[in-house]
Structure formats: C-alpha cells, structure tokens
Structure 1
Amino acid sequence: MSNQNLCFTKYDKSKLKIIDIGANLSDHMYSGFYNHSNKSMHPNDINNVLQRAFANHVEKIIITGTTLEDSKEILKLAETNENLYITVGCHPTRSNEFVTNPEEYLNGLLKLIQENDKKVVAVGECGLDYDRLHFCSKETQQKYFEMQLELPKLTKKPLFLHCRNSYADFGDILKRHHDQLHGGVVHSFTGSKEEAKIFTDLGYFIGINGCSLKTQENIDAMLSIPTEFLMIETDCPWCEVKASHAGHKFIKTRMPCIKKENWNEDILVKGRNEPAAIIQVLEILAATRNEDIYSLAETMYENTKKLFKI
C-alpha cells in the first residue's frame, strides 16, 4: 500500500511536520508478542509501523534506549533509516543492571554514544521512578541516575529524562549538576503546574503524550507550559489517547484499528500505540491551548531540532 493511501489526516503535508521524541520501537509488541506471551500473534511489522508514521506527518523518530543492550539493538534499527535516531541510557527501573560492575556498564554506554555520534542524540532514558520500586530501590535509582549524568558531561549530549512520583529528589539531583549539563527533556510528563515550572526554570523541555492528557488536571498542567518548552511524543507502544481520557474529545483524526488476532499489515493494532497516532496528541494540544495547529507543530519541531541537533 502506498504512503498516500496510509495517510489518515486532512492536514497539509507540506506545512505539518512532527518529530516523535519518544518511541519504544524495540518492544516485543512490534514482533507480535503481547502480554508476556511466548506465542507471536503476527509477523514483525516495524516497517509497516514506520510507513504509517511517515505517511502521517512524522518526519523523524527518536527511539528510546532503556538499557545498554536495548540501546545496541535499537541502533541496528536506526541504521536502516536516515530519519531514525536513538537515545542511549538505562531506565531507572533497570538500574540494578549497573550493580555488578558499575564502571564497566557506564563505559559501555559511553562507548556506544561516542562511536555513534550522528545517530545518538541524547543520554537516557534515565531518571527516577518511585511508582515502581518493586523493580529497583530509591537508593539504587538515585545512585545510578547521578552516575549517568557523567555521560552528558563527557559527550555534551542533552538528557532524555524519566520522572515518576519523584519530583523533589529528581529536581534536586538535576540542580546539583546543572552547570555541567547540556539541557534535555522531561518526557511523558504527568506532573503538576508547579513541577513543570521546576524544569522549565532550569531550561528543560517537557514531552507530552497521551498519558500527559488523561485528566483535566493533566491538561491544566500542560497549559501552564510555554510553547517554547514543549515537545511531542507517543511513548509507544504505550500512552495512547484512550476514550476515557479528558483530551479524547478534541481528537479529529480517527485511525482504523483491529484486534491483534485479526492483524493486517496496513491497519493499526487496537491497544498498541505507534508514531502515526501522534497527530491525535497534537490535535489535543492545539485545541486546548487555542493555538493554530500548524504554528504549534512548527514550534515543537524547531524545539526538537535545536535540542537534539538533528
């Protein structure tokens, strides 16, 4: 099927360009494995996912690295397409991977960044996540978050940051190292107006996706963020805009989807988010902020290009 037939939107393609700053394209869902099952429901369809994205205003995608090995794997994918980039880092819930040999693990991340300078645009996903302490303790997360902050100091790369229910400690750590860092983005933001201001006051951008728009409180917090600090993402295959979300009523672009059991290479899988659906996040932002969708998209596009030097 041609890209033209895969386009679901009515917007002018020459005027609307989007960079998805956070896509987990190495997730097993894109190989047909769902809910920790060992049985694949369909073939790997990452190429179809990318075609749909590029047909629906997505110009470039930054694939999120969550561990050293994951970062190596997504690099292989990024090397297949000039419009794909990656981050390199260790997610806070995976911080235990540092424990056996912290210096060796950190040096592995550093080497991957230095040897792939044009494809690696940020250090991360790193930060703190106090919602999932069953994976990793606060103390371990804090220790290896700070250790990873040595990477932007050495590489001059910005940070791709994760923060869940940990804003005080997270902000304190960033402030402690602020003068030696090179900016970044707090992705998948679900915090308050006050928490957003902590980051924008430090010069950090804020990444907005479907999870950022679940409730009216979420939307109010997003509205408090100046446009010059906004970026847009899917965090796919998660964080889709659901019918129960406060922002859902502002969606104009409907995308056909089917159950995974009825998989078709040209249709989205129900419950599995992907970059093509980022247009829905943009529509919610434009409507709730009362901004022109083309101007808003252009500002976030330029914000992204500037930070990540794309």
Structure 2
Amino acid sequence: MLPDALTFTAPAPLVDIGANLTHESFAADLDAVLERARSANVTTLILTGTERAAIEAALTLCERDALVTLHTTAGLHPHHASDWTPAFADWMASAAQHQRVKAIGECGLDYNRDFSSRTDQKRAFEAQLELAARTQKPLFLHERDAGVDMLDMIKQWRDDIGDAVIHCFTGEKETLYGYLDLDLHIGLTGWLCDERRGHHLRSLVRDIPANRLMVETDCPYLLPRNLPAKLKGRRHEPALLPWIVREIAHYRGEREHELSVSSTETARRFFNLPLTEDA
C-alpha cells in the first residue's frame, strides 16, 4: 500500500511509456501495483524490453487479464550489446512481429557505464535501427553521455526510420535541440524531481513541443526524490506517474490536465494505440 500522501489521481488518463514491470521487485505484488496504477488513472503501460528474458516475460504479462492495458517494447539495451548475435537477431526479428510489441528498443548508446564496449554498442544499435526501418515500428531509445554519436547515427538513418523517442531524457540543451531538430520525441521521468542532478531539465521542458512530449516512470528506478512522503523500500511504480506529470506541468507553466491530455494523445499516436482506448 502507498501512504495516503502518495495516493494521486491524474485529471485525465495517462500512458506510462516506460515501466520495467518484469523487474524482480514486482514479482510478489504485481496485481496490487496494477490496481494502484488504475486507481491513479494510469490506464496504459508500455513495458520495457531490454533483453530476451525481459521481452519474453513482458509478452507473458501482456496476455494476462489486467486492470490496465499492457504493451511492450522489444530490443537489446546497450548494457547487453555484446549479446547481439546472428541467432539473437533472428529471434528479435520474430519477436518484433508480435502484436503487443509496439516499438523496437530499448536500444541506443550508454557511455556512462560502458557495460558493453562502444564498438559492440554501435553494432547492436545499428542492427536495431535497421530492424526498425524494416518493420516501420517506432524506436524506444536510450542515451547516456553519448549524445554526439547518437545524433550522428540517427541522422544517417533518419530518412528510413519512423518515429523515435529518447526515453528518460537527461541530457543538456544542445543535445535536446539536436533531437528535436530530427523530429524525435522526448520521454521525461522523475529525474527533474531530483535536486542533485535534475535542475537543468526544469528550464528545458518548456522547449519541448507538446506533440513531442511523453511521460514515464522508468519504474522501479528513478523514484522522485521530492515526493511529499517517504516510501519504504524506495521502489518506484506507475501509480506515482501523476506526481511526475504535476512537476513537469509546473515547470512548463501549464495546467496538469492539459499536459495529461496532450502526453496521452502523443503516446497513443506514437505507439499506434487506439485514440479512444479506455483501458
């Protein structure tokens, strides 16, 4: 249970475009997590597929009878880029055809941790750019401290791929403008709720057009640090997305309802979801 101070209800239905619900921290109480999401008016979740096991688990979750609508992405996170093999490429091409797979990714470049070599990261990312071009599914992208190379690779493929979103954007102004110049979408999380590292985002969110902005928790990670009450265990969950929307709306100088409606409409278009879906 969430404490009363953390029980929020969005003024309009929300789409959480980045929820890592296959994470082990959700294993014991997933039904309750989904129930709280629905009560918070977070009606659609896009699960994040980062490697084969996570994608398979996400597809299984998508088939269950849930209070919210579940879809997933399918890709290989740059942390796992060294796992890209011809066999995995064949499996990914098949998984991408599943009706619940709404985007290719999470894929991209991460020079912050370099868990896979940068050569392997670029190789796996290039292959997933090609898959997105071939399937014409949107891209769900990850980038940390790699904006220059990311922009360069996307520019080379921009005429061939469709829509793409930089999920959990944390970069600087120059990188943001570079992505917007390429007509990319931007996903915002509770990062701007972090007094240690999110300040620069607060002055940038006004620059993102409403039809390019989507919202996400990236749960169980990135629990907002400025929540009005402490949360035991510090596990983030979709029911807290309305708080993030409230914070983003504040720094954009717009009403919470306005941002809720626009971000949901943008997400439904981006992921090819029914615009009138109410689940």
State if a TM-score over 0.5 links the two structures.
Answer: yes
Q: Give the Cα separation in 2 of the matches to 1:218 and 1:288.
A: 9
1:193 aligns with 2:173: yes
Contact 2:10 2:242 in 1 (8 A): no
1:284 aligns with 2:268: no
Alignment of 1:1-310 (within 5 A): 8-9=7-8, 12=11, 16-31=12-27, 44-80=28-64, 81=66, 83-98=69-84, 102-114=85-97, 116-117=98-99, 119-133=100-114, 135-214=115-194, 215-243=198-226, 254=228, 257=231, 259=232, 270-310=233-273
SS in 2 for 1:85: strand
Structure 1 residue 222 displacement after superposition? 2.2
Q: Give the Cα separation in 1 of the matches to 2:266 and 2:229.
A: 27
| Mean CA deviation greater in 44-53 or 223-232 | 223-232
Q: Give the Cα separation in 1 of the matches to 2:118 and 2:169.
A: 20
Q: Give the Cα separation in 1 of the matches to 2:209 and 2:37.
A: 27
SS in 2 for 1:25: coil
SS in 2 for 1:309: coil
SS in 1 for 2:241: helix
Give the TM-score normalised by the residue count of structure 2. 0.90
Q: Give the Cα separation in 1 of the matches to 2:238 and 2:229.
A: 12
Comparing both chains, which one has the higher relative contact order based on Cα–Cα distances under 8 Å and sequence gaps of 6 or more? 2
SS in 2 for 1:149: helix
Q: Give the Cα separation in 2 of the matches to 1:240 and 1:130.
A: 23
Structure 1 residue 212 displacement after superposition? 4.0
Give the TM-score normalised by the residue count of structure 1. 0.82
The sequence identity of aligned pairs, in percent, is 33
SS in 2 for 1:296: helix
The change in CA–CA distance for 1:162 and 1:11 in structure 2 (over 3 A counts) is closer
Q: Which protein is bigger by CA-based radius of gyration?
A: 1
Calculate the aligned-residue CA RMSD, in Å. Answer: 1.9
The change in CA–CA distance for 1:84 and 1:220 in structure 2 (over 3 A counts) is same
- Residue type of the alignment partner of 1:86: T
The change in CA–CA distance for 1:272 and 1:68 in structure 2 (over 3 A counts) is same
Contact 1:8 1:255 in 2 (8 A): no
Structure 1 residue 113 displacement after superposition? 1.6
Q: Give the Cα separation in 2 of the matches to 1:290 and 1:113.
A: 38
Q: Give the Cα separation in 1 of the matches to 2:173 and 2:209.
A: 11
Question: Which whole-Å deviations, capped at 9, do the CAs of 1:14-70 have from their partners, x for residues lacking one?
Answer: xx1100000000111113xxxxxxxxxxxx111111100011010100000000221
- Residue type of the alignment partner of 1:30: F
Structure 1 residue 9 displacement after superposition? 2.9
- Residue type of the alignment partner of 1:8: T
- Residue type of the alignment partner of 1:196: L
- Matched residue pairs, number? 266
Q: Give the Cα separation in 1 of the matches to 2:10 and 2:235.
A: 24
Structure 1 residue 6 displacement after superposition? 11
